[in-house]
Amino acid sequence: MGFNCLKCPGYCCSHSRIAVSEHDIVRLARHFDVTPQKAKERFTYHYKTKEVDEQILRHHKDHIYKSICRFFDRDERRCTVYEARPNVCRKYPYGNKCGYYEFLKFERAHQDDEEYVPDA
C-alpha cells in the first residue's frame, strides 16, 4: 500500500458527491438499526442532472474542507461508520497510491511538520 489513511485529514471524505447504492443504504440502516427508508432519508439526498442520477451521502461543515461526509468525525479526523462504509469508500483510492497522500507527505516534509494540512 502506498498511503496511510491514519495520517490523512480525510481528503476522500470531502468529495462533494459520494454516491451510494441501495446495498450501501441497507448496510448503513443495519448499522444504525433503522429501516432502509429511514437511512435513505436521514443520510442521503437525491442528486439528478442530465448526466447522473444518484443517491449522495449528506455532508456537514468542516474547518479544513468546506464540507465533509456527515459520518466523518471532524475532531478525530476518522470515519465513524468504517465497518458500514459504502463500497465507493471501500475501494478508494482505486489503485496502489493516493495522490492526495503523496501531496500531503511532500508538504509535511517541506514544512517540517508531521501534522501540517494545506489550506483547502
Q: Is residue 88 part of a domain?
A: yes
Q: Is residue 120 part of a domain?
A: no
Q: In this predicted model, what pLDDT tens digit does every residue of 13-61 receive, in sequence order?
A: 999 999 999 999 999 999 999 999 999 999 999 999 999 999 999 999 9
Q: Is residue 82 part of a domain?
A: yes
Q: What is the pTM of this model?
A: 0.81
Q: Is residue 117 part of a domain?
A: no
* Number of domains, the chain: 1
Spatial neighbors of 32 by CB under 8 A, at least 6 apart, are 39, 42
For 85, the domain range is 5-111
Q: In this predicted model, what pLDDT tens digit does every residue of 72-118 receive, in sequence order?
A: 999 988 999 999 999 999 988 877 777 777 777 788 888 888 877 77
Q: Is residue 74 part of a domain?
A: yes
